[in-house]
Amino acid sequence: MTSPSSSAHEETKVIDGVHYHQYDVVIVGAGGAGMRAAIEAGPHARVGVISKLYPTRSHTGAAQGGMAAALANVEEDSWEWHTFDTVKGGDYLVDQDAAEILAKEAIDAVIDLENMGLPFNRTPEGKIDQRRFGGHTRDHGKAPVRRSCYAADRTGHMILQTLFQNCVKLGIEFYNEYYVLDLVMTEVDGVKRPSAVVAYELATGDLHVFQAKSIIFATGGFGKIYKTTSNAHTLTGDGVGILWRKGIPLEDMEFFQFHPTGLAGLGILLTEGARGEGAILRNASGERFMERYAPTIKDLAPRDIVARCMVQEVQEGRGAGPNKDYVYLDCTHLGAEVLETKLPDITEFARTYLGVDPVVEPVPVMPTAHYAMGGIPTNIKAEVLSNNDTVIPGLYAAGECACVSVHGSNRLGTNSLLDINVFGKRAGRYSVEYAKTAEFVPLPQDPAGPVRDMIESIRNAGGTERVSALRKELQEEMDRGAQVFRTDESLGQVTDTITKLREGYKNISIHDKGKRFNTDLLEAVELGFLLDLAEVVVYSARNRKESRGGHMRDDYPLRNDEDYMVHTMAYLTGDASSEHAGDHIKLDWKPVVITNYQPMERKY
Residues assigned a catalytic role: 303
Question: Is there a binding annotation on residue 262?
Answer: no
Question: Is there a binding annotation on residue 52?
Answer: yes
Q: Is the Cβ–Cβ distance between 442 and 195 less than 8 Å?
A: yes
Question: Is there a binding annotation on residue 32?
Answer: yes
Indicate the burial class of 357 (C-beta count within 10 angstroms; 0-12, 13-18, 19 or more): middle
Question: Is there a binding annotation on residue 143?
Answer: no
Question: Is there a binding annotation on residue 62?
Answer: yes
Question: Is there a binding annotation on residue 417?
Answer: yes
Question: Is there a binding annotation on residue 257?
Answer: no
Question: Is there a binding annotation on residue 511?
Answer: no
Question: Is there a binding annotation on residue 33?
Answer: yes
Give the long-range contacts of residues 285-291, CB within 8 A, separation 24 or more. Answer: 285/318, 287/318, 289/313, 289/318, 289/327
What's the distance, CA 184 to chain centroid?
24
Q: Is the Cβ–Cβ distance between 527 and 238 less than 8 Å?
A: no
Question: Is there a binding annotation on residue 265?
Answer: no
Residue 444 contacts by C-beta under 8 Å, 6 or more apart in sequence?
Answer: 184, 186, 195
Question: Is there a binding annotation on residue 31?
Answer: yes
Question: Is there a binding annotation on residue 429?
Answer: no
- In 203-316 the beta strands, taken as DSSP E runs, fall at 207-217, 250-251, 256-263, 280-282
| Phi, psi of 442, deg, nearest 5 | -60, 145
Element (H, E) at 396: strand 391-397
Question: Is there a binding annotation on residue 533?
Answer: no
Question: Is there a binding annotation on residue 58?
Answer: yes
Give the integer Cα–Cα distance in Å for 107 and 124.
20
Question: Is there a binding annotation on residue 428?
Answer: no
Q: Is the Cβ–Cβ distance between 46 and 214 less than 8 Å?
A: no
Question: Is there a binding annotation on residue 416?
Answer: yes
- Bridge-based pairing of strands 402-403 and 376-377 is parallel
DSSP designation for 354: I
Question: Is there a binding annotation on residue 329?
Answer: no
Q: How many CA within 13 A on the CB side of residue 399?
A: 30
User: What is the number of residues in the chain?
Assistant: 604
Candidates 501, 590, 481, 497; CA nearest to 542 is 481
Residue 106 contacts by C-beta under 8 Å, 6 or more apart in sequence?
Answer: 67, 68, 69, 70, 79, 82, 418, 422
Question: Is there a binding annotation on residue 56?
Answer: yes
Question: Is there a binding annotation on residue 30?
Answer: yes
Question: Is there a binding annotation on residue 61?
Answer: yes
| Phi, psi of 510, deg, nearest 5 | -125, 150
Candidates 364, 232, 244, 230; CA nearest to 303 is 230
Q: Is the Cβ–Cβ distance between 386 and 330 less than 8 Å?
A: no
Which residues are part of a known binding site for FAD? Answer: 29-34, 51-66, 238, 400, 416-417
Which residues are part of a known binding site for substrate? Answer: 259, 271, 370, 411
Which residues are part of a known binding site? Answer: 29-34, 51-66, 238, 259, 271, 370, 400, 411, 416-417
